[in-house]
Every structure is written in C-alpha cells, then in structure tokens.
Amino acid sequence: MSSPDPQVRAARNLTDPSPENKPEKKRSKNRGPVVAVTGAATGIGELLTAHLVASDEIKQVIAIDERRGQASEATWHILDVRDPAIAEKLRGADVVVHLALDLDLETDPAARTAYNVRGTQTVLTAAAAVGVHRVVLCTSAMVYGALPDNDIPLAEDAELRATAEATGVGDLLEIERLGRRAPRAHPGLNVTVVRPTVLVGGTDTALTRYFESPRLLVVAGSRPTWQFCHVDDLVSALEYAALERIDGEFAVGCDGWLEQEEVEELSGVRRMELPSAVALGAAARLHRIGLTPSPAGDLAYTMHPWVVSVSRLHDVGWRPKWTNEEVLGALLEEVEGRHTLAGRRLGRKDATAAGAAGATVALLGTAALVRRARKARRRI
C-alpha cells in the first residue's frame, strides 16, 4: 500500500538519466477549486491537506488549524475555528472541508460538545458570509444508529435513528442538523455530509479499542456486523466531495461487511459471551463511577448491525482501495501490544492480571461494586 520515500524517488531521478525518470516540470494549477481545510495539521485533516496540495485538480489549499502542519505548499492560517475571524481566512475559497472536530475518548464531554458544535456553527456562518458555495462536513455512519431491526445494508437516505448515548454521536447528530439548516439560512450555500463507517488508520475510538481487548465481548442474542473504512479511502472520498463530483449525504467504507464469526476467525481472538443485562449494566456502572471513558451506548455498535450501502460513491465512479479483511488486518497490526478493558487502556501488568482473570466488562464491574459494598458494610 505504501509508496517509495520521496527522498528515494528524488535520488533515482538524479541518478537515472532515462527520459521517463527526468524531473517533471512544475505543474500548472491555474484551474480547479480553491479548497480550505479546517483541522489541517492533525489526523484526517493533515492527510487530506497533503493529498490536495499534490493534486493537479486543486488550484490552492488554504489550511486552518491551531498550529502549522507539514504541508508547506498550503497557505496556512493559525487560529481556533470558533474564532469569527476565520471568515477572512476563508475568503476566496470555493469549498471548505471542515475536519476540526474533537472526538477524543478522554476529552470532557461538555467541553467536546461545546467545541464541536460552536466550531461547526462558526465555519458554516463564516463560509456563507464570504461567498463560499460548498461546505463539506464529516460525521460518521454511527448517526444511523445500531438497532436490531436495521436493514442490512442500510440505504444512505435511511432515517437517522441514533441517540446521544454513544461517545460523540450526540455531537455528530447536532452537526448534521446544523448542516441541514445552513442552506435554508444562507441561500447559495451547499452542504455535503460524508459518513465513514468504522474508521481505521491512526484512529483511537471505542470501536477500534474493542479489538485491543483480550477477548471480543459478544452480547448474547446480538448480531454484530462490521464494516470498516480505511483513512486512505476516506481521504479519497473527501477529495470527490471537494471537487464536487458528489454532493448531498453519502456513506464511505469498504464494500460489504463481516459477520462476528468471520471477525473472530480472521483475528484469532476468541469471544466472551455475556447476557445483555449483565454487559450493559456493568458498562453503565463502570462509566458512571469514572473507571471507563466509554458509556454503555457504545456497546450497541458492537451488538447490532449498522452497515450501510456506499452506492452513491459507486455511482460517480469511486471505488474503495481496501477490503474489510485488509482493514481488519491493518487494525490488528496497529493495536498489537495495546491492552484495553471496557474501553480503558491498561498497563502491561494490569492487562496480564485482567487476562488471567477472564477480563470482561461484567466481571470488572461486578468486582468493583462488590468491593465498594463490602467497604460500606465494614463502616457500619
């Protein structure tokens, strides 16, 4: 999947006089849109910015973040996306791709929501004020909700039935609501919404941490299904949106999905099956007393199907470069050596002890509550 290091390619060009290896002339980038990227110095924003500055189809990239990133060819502006001064920085842009979101599991939820919602509001208002004609928002296929009666796969125009009970999903639903309202409040502004499935590639989410556990928790009677999206494919889909090859709301991810049994066979990690009441109750208690960052609502996305069609991208000629099997393999390599229990990262000693004890959400939750009850009784 990786290409040769740029320095290696440059050395080859200097030492190999053959015509096909002669240095290319500087590209002319007089045509194409001017694209602004928020959150351009980190994560997906950094990858997209690097991708766009290398594209012959993009005239200019305006990069916005709270620190300067690596893409020297971009025009950088250093500021918080909640600052109304961002309007002047967006002037001249045709399209804005808004990727300045905080979905960190460890961030205080109230602070995270304040940043995500206010930042999106400010970017949409500022873009409209300076004549930007399209804003691209990136949320998640989690907004469809994970429910036992979901179609497999869901249509991209299916009703959004998620609730705010899972990490960050309430923020994503509000961002989508702002995106729907913006064209009505600002005629001439178009909003495109991109919804990736389980995102893999330098990401840290409740769903990627699921694969860091010594056993894969499976709730009895549930039907987990897995559809992944590699960050490379998300960047490619965001480029399609920036070039306005696709608009409206669409999902991005691998074709098809994996059943839980396939995931276990491919990963070689065995399951730990628990009754629903035990798993959900223990997860809720652990989160409530601050032992884990993941609320019980995150478990729904490992219990019920929420795979989605990616037909809208297919219709405009886009194809994923990665398969679900390949992305799962990449994820397992990425998390190797990490140890997580109920969404909480463990040190090596803790992980060994937890694994020997049968490391499950329910057992940890029950043990914690029993210890607290015993201490309370001793005080009486």
pLDDT in tens, 125-138: 999 999 999 999 99
Say whether pLDDT at 200 is over 50: yes
Q: Which pLDDT does position 375 carry in this prediction?
A: 55
Quick one: pLDDT band at residue 67, thresholds 50, 70, 90?
Answer: very high
| Residues paired with 253 in a beta bridge | none
pTM value? 0.83
What is the distance between the alpha carbons of residues 176 and 138, in angstroms, rounded to a whole number?
A: 9
Cis peptide before 33 (omega within 30 of 0): no
Q: Which pLDDT does position 3 carry in this prediction?
A: 42
Q: Count the Cβ atoms, other than its own, within 10 Å of residue 2.
A: 4
Q: What is the mean pLDDT of residues 134-162?
A: 98
Whether the Cβ atoms of residue 43 and residue 202 lie closer than 8 Å to each other:
yes
Say whether pLDDT at 153 is over 90: yes
What is the distance between the alpha carbons of residues 127 and 130, in angstroms, rounded to a whole number?
A: 6
Mean pLDDT (the chain) is: 85
Say whether pLDDT at 122 is over 50: yes
Query: What share of the chain has pLDDT > 90, as a percent?
Result: 71
Quick one: pLDDT band at residue 279, thresholds 50, 70, 90?
Answer: confident
Quick one: pLDDT band at residue 380, thresholds 50, 70, 90?
Answer: low
Phi, psi of 130 (to 5 degrees): -105, 10
Say whether pLDDT at 18 is over 90: no
pLDDT in tens, 233-258: 999 999 999 999 999 999 999 999 99
In terms of Cβ atoms closer than 10 Å to its own Cβ (0-12, 13-18, 19+), residue 179 is buried
What is the distance between the alpha carbons of residues 280 and 60, in angstroms, rounded to a whole number?
A: 49
pLDDT in tens, 322-361: 999 999 999 999 998 665 544 444 444 443 333 333 344 4
Residue reference for tokens 């480029």: 239
Q: Which pLDDT does position 29 carry in this prediction?
A: 63
What is the distance between the alpha carbons of residues 94 and 357, in angstroms, rounded to a whole number?
A: 57
**In which region does residue 302 sit, left (phi positive, over 0), alpha (psi from -120 to 50) or beta (all else)?**
alpha
Whether the Cβ atoms of residue 246 and residue 312 lie closer than 8 Å to each other:
yes
Phi, psi of 250 (to 5 degrees): -150, 155
Task: Determine which of 112-116, 180-184, 240-244, 365-369 has the lowest per-residue pLDDT on average.
Answer: 365-369
Length of the chain: 380
Q: Each residue of 43-62: b (16+ CB within 10 Å) or e? A: bbbbbbbbbbbebeebebbb
Q: Which pLDDT does position 289 carry in this prediction?
A: 80
